[in-house]
Amino acid sequence: MPTHDTTRLIAFADTLADAAREAILPYFRAKHSVTNKLDDGRFDPVTDADQAAERAMLAQIEREFPDHGVLGEEYGERAGKSGYQWILDPIDGTRAFISGLPTWGVLIGLYYEGRPLIGVMDQPFTQERYRGWMDGANATTRAGTHPIRARSCGSLSNATLSTTSPDLFEDDEARAWSNVRREGKLVRYGLDCYAYAMIAAGHVDGVLESNLKPFDIAALIPIITGAGGGVCAWDGGDASQGGRVLAFDDTRVRDEALRLLSPSR
């Protein structure tokens, strides 16, 4: 296993987040174009801000690490030669963005040979930035930079849970989500990547989602893991490529949720 210059890589991820902030903020709660990526009657929006932010980050990567690969939501995949791959979601929560709600974020993940290494979630409007590496995490807010730690709520019955929307789930997935939701203490909807950051910061205990892409989760795995929590698939396996994802602060919450998510339930 090679030695990674984590300090340099996180500093560069901050540079990417700064570039994305600068590109995005002029569009937030201001006039911008919205295009639907789909033509099947569903709505999957992309905005000028998404595209401008990803272009800004791509230019920085090309300048500093031209041998690194990239996977971005808007401009796809570019192969690399180093084993490193930056995984970019310029605005996770575009629906919130176009609605003027501050629960979207910029997601910047770095994988090495397919495994999560570092992650940053930046919320430009509230000036919050959450960083993670596999054995630590911190946040920068208006109060300064400080370590963050997931809490241990002890059981699912004490847990605050979240999912972006119950409409994510159909049929067996909907039943599985209903099983978990009924056991939890409190559920909040519509938070996109912000809910995952709140696990790392010690305010939320679990997030369940389905049909995620790698760029939806890549940045969040190191943040939550570094803060003492974890992320897995609904079968307990690897979640680094997306799919059905469970993020948790406490292994007891994980184990109870996985039992309820089992197809046999």
CATH number at residue 50: 3.30.540.10
pLDDT score, position 35 = 77
Amino acid making up residue 73: E
Mark whether 52 and 138 lie in a shared domain. Answer: yes
Q: Write out residues in the chain with pLDDT < 50, as ranges.
A: none
With tokens 């210059």, the residue in question is: 5
Question: Nearest 5°: CA angle at 164, between 160 and 166?
Answer: 90
Q: Are 208 and 163 in contact (CB under 8 A)?
A: yes
Q: Please say which residue of 147, 176, 211 terminates a domain.
A: 147
Mark whether 75 and 106 lie in a shared domain. Answer: yes
Mark whether 11 and 136 lie in a shared domain. Answer: yes
Which 3-state string (H, E, C) describes 102-151?
CCCEEEEEEEECCEEEEEEEEECCCCEEEEEECCEEEEEECCEEEECCCC
Mark whether 143 and 167 lie in a shared domain. Answer: no
Helix (H, G, I), strand (E, B) or coil at 87: strand
Mark whether 127 and 227 lie in a shared domain. Answer: no
**Containing structural domain, residue 245:** 156-261
pLDDT score, position 1 = 53
Mark whether 10 and 139 lie in a shared domain. Answer: yes
Amino acid making up residue 194: Y
- Report how many domains make up the chain: 2
Q: Are 18 and 140 in contact (CB under 8 A)?
A: no
**Concatenated DSSP letters of 164-177:** S-GGG--THHHHHH
Mark whether 215 and 253 lie in a shared domain. Answer: yes
pLDDT score, position 62 = 97
Structure tokens given for 83: 């084993």
Task: Give residue-wise pLDDT tens across range 151-200.
Answer: 999 999 999 999 999 988 999 999 999 999 999 999 999 999 999 999 99
Q: Is residue 1 domain-resident?
A: no
pTM of the model: 0.94
Mark whether 18 and 127 lie in a shared domain. Answer: yes
What whole-number distance in Å separates Cα of residue 259 and Cα of residue 26? 45
Mark whether 135 and 185 lie in a shared domain. Answer: no
pLDDT score, position 46 = 80
Amino acid making up residue 211: N
Mark whether 121 and 223 lie in a shared domain. Answer: no
What whole-number distance in Å separates Cα of residue 71 and Cα of residue 79? 8
DSSP 33: -
Q: Is residue 47 domain-resident?
A: yes
DSSP 74: T
Mark whether 177 and 140 lie in a shared domain. Answer: no
CATH of the domain at 224: 3.40.190.80
Mark whether 224 and 113 lie in a shared domain. Answer: no
State the CB neighbour count (10 A cutoff) for residue 108.
Answer: 28
